[in-house]
Structure 1
């Protein structure tokens, strides 16, 4: 039976705690090794030392873990549906180690579910534990609650902050998903326990780096914020390579963080050195128009005496030209 109101009151306690959302931490803190799932003493967490947590995260973790232990039930994993917001790029990462822990010691850390139908549940958090139990053929130890969409979202984000294992880019993609779903900035800040500036920077990183490139690089645990922001800056330039070339530049044989590091090194090397001569301009007709071509832009410059009507004709014809090109490419 689902427990009512218990979780919402815990969230209210966390959200009303004194102290502001965490600001950008120094790079050394951002780049510390992540922790496996679970609490500090559980095999699923691996006994790793904690990083600093904000007051909101600490209150959420302490009070809700106590409530979880009071009302647990076993749920068939085949009755559990995924949430629409994914907080990991690869939910299968390091899954074998988690399965070994559950096989040997049982599931030490419960998951949180909410009932969506008579015999169906939706995961709020604990996707890896659910996947591990499903593959092991055992029931999932869970607490089932009745909460709103917004409370579920905040819970998912705060629990991730309590685990302290999600990478910077995973958090950024999570922020982008929430934003695209239409949630307010206040909800986003509560769910990720971050401030407005951090949320804005994360949205910018995900907006300016193609999503396929992010997925090809992977979570890049330990890389921190700065490499992703540098990649965003490079890809925002006129001389940035297109997505197809970027994907070919990513070495999938390397660990995820090393893929990001090598891609950045290769992009720095490929950038045009300072003081290099500009690309030659292409003249049309008697020089009435000049084409200035760069890797990601094409500029048409008209001479003072050039017929202005041609520019209008060119503008109106661009859609047809593009469709003709696409037809020939097929």
Structure 2
């Protein structure tokens, strides 16, 4: 039995009514691959397999722990369940990943149970902590959904909900930002950080971005799984006090009312709206014959002049008056660039 089959067996043992003691049995070592076979396996495929096995092991460990605590997977009528009181995911039309999940459950059954708690306000009902997509898939298929029941406080439910999504990495950047924004209405920053697996600085950036963009506007675009923080911030830069200026709004509206936009995926919707904003910006600049004047402000004891314009941010230092400051900043810039790249890669991963 190879490792993949062994892991599948463990999953079936956990969820298919087999004695949990089966999980502790050792497996026969996988036969070694020949040199020719190894050469046919790409490094990308190996990495993908490792990631898949890693995710399976995380699920195994989480669910083993629940079994050790005496938890038993129950079958629920999907109509008995309600979603979490804080939404974390956008439901969009033509969601191919969801259709693939539904087909998998239809063919092979629900492999991983969901997690629910007794509904705090409705006797005989349950509220989902995580597994909303599996619940929706079973609901569409007209079959019961399997899940564990666990008493959870509001805070514990949200942390479980957020951490499960963080481990699976299946929430897009903007869905994570919206989830953080909704949590911020009722919960402290410490809960938000635990729920989304981000530090306080990143949480602040997410909330700042959401404050700049209307939620209805974000929903019109959708989850945009391939679009990260820098491009969302670029789009937000065209908004003023949460609204698009009239020339930008007219150009964006002309895009969003088309049939192509309606049929497009969310990544394509984002790109078309950002392109419309850039086009409006170019047209407005050409019509006025000049670029908007940059806002000027001083830093320190009038040592650094900062110019913040619509298309550029610059800093100016008089090296004759402050040679030490100029030399210090010049020395630190490479380190600041490294820090920026590290944050960029971490948040956009």
- Residue 234 of structure 1 corresponds to 238
- Residue 116 of structure 2 corresponds to 113
Matches of 1:211 and 1:263, distance apart in 2:
15
Which of 218, 225, 228 does residue 221 from structure 1 map onto? 225
Stretches of structure 2 that go unaligned for 5 or more consecutive residues are 1-47, 292-349
Matches of 1:160 and 1:183, distance apart in 2:
19
- Closer/same/farther in 2, CA of residues 59 and 171 from structure 1, 3 Å limit: farther
- Residue 298 of structure 1 corresponds to none
Stretches of structure 1 that go unaligned for 5 or more consecutive residues are 1-46, 280-330
CA deviations on 1:272-322 (whole Å, 9 max, x unpaired) are 32793479xxxxxxxxxxxxxxxxxxxxxxxxxxxxxxxxxxxxxxxxxxx
Alignment of 1:147-158 (within 5 A): 147-158=152-163
Matches of 1:218 and 1:273, distance apart in 2:
30
- SS of residue in 2 equivalent to 1:146: coil
- SS of residue in 2 equivalent to 1:273: helix
- Closer/same/farther in 2, CA of residues 228 and 50 from structure 1, 3 Å limit: farther
Q: CA deviation at 1:89?
A: 1.1
Which of 54, 64, 67 does residue 66 from structure 1 map onto? 64
- Closer/same/farther in 2, CA of residues 208 and 75 from structure 1, 3 Å limit: same
Alignment of 1:136-151 (within 5 A): 136-151=141-156
Q: CA deviation at 1:236?
A: 3.1
Q: Is the 8 A contact 2:92 2:222 kept in 1?
A: no
Farther-moved stretch of structure 1 (228-237 vs 98-107): 228-237
Quote the RMSD (CA, aligned, Å). Answer: 3.0
Which of 184, 191, 210 does residue 206 from structure 1 map onto? 210
Matches of 1:224 and 1:168, distance apart in 2:
6
- Residue 265 of structure 1 corresponds to 275
TM-score by structure 2 length?
0.59
Matches of 1:143 and 1:91, distance apart in 2:
27
**Greater helix share, structure number:** 2
- Residue 91 of structure 2 corresponds to 90
- Closer/same/farther in 2, CA of residues 62 and 161 from structure 1, 3 Å limit: farther
Matches of 1:111 and 1:203, distance apart in 2:
29
1:167 paired to 2:172: yes
